[in-house]
Amino acid sequence: MSKQPFPVQSGRADLTRRRKDAKNAMISLRLGVVSCQSASSVKPSIAQIRLLLALASGSVLKSHRYVDGSKVFQLHPLEGPALTVRRDTVERLVNGGLIDSNKKFPAATYWLTEKGKELAAELSPQSEERSQQSNHSQQE
């Protein structure tokens, strides 16, 4: 059973929801433009957004190439085991100019470009909290 907000709070909750919807629409639009430039599909995936945020928070993305020619992308978080990342997720971010690598063999390391850093900052939960705090202080 979900709790219904008080009538006084519903206006504020509705305003917050509309702000989040507007921000998500702008992010989708911006990512869509990046994807169009890279000649891939328009809508970005959740995996791409998660990967950008993981890199921004300190995780390391590496591609490991093996003698048989196979290539595996692994995300190494600050704590815990490495996670396998799909090749197309990485390639779309590279083609969009959001990440780049040192192109070393057999293990290349990837990092955020300036464009990727800007987008990750916009997508991060901390940026949403900061904008909500500044909006709240302006209303008072």
- CATH value at residue 110: 1.10.10
Count of the separate structural domains present in the chain: 1
- Distance (Å, whole) CA 56 – CA 35: 20
State which residues form the domain around 126. Answer: 20-132
Residue 139 lies in a domain: no
Q: What is the pLDDT of residues 45-56, one digit of tens each?
A: 789 999 999 999
pLDDT value of position 36: 37
Average pLDDT in the 113-123 region? 90
Domain assignment of residue 94, yes or no: yes
Task: Please tell me the predicted confidence (pLDDT) of residue 22.
Answer: 53
- What tens digit of pLDDT does each residue of 69-89 get? 899 999 999 999 999 999 999
If 0-12 CB within 10 Å is exposed, 13-18 middle and 19+ buried, where does residue 93 land?
A: buried
Q: How far apart are CA 106 and CA 108, in angstroms?
A: 7
56-71: average pLDDT? 93
| Mean pLDDT for all residues in the chain | 74
> Could you tell me if residue 2 is inside a domain?
no
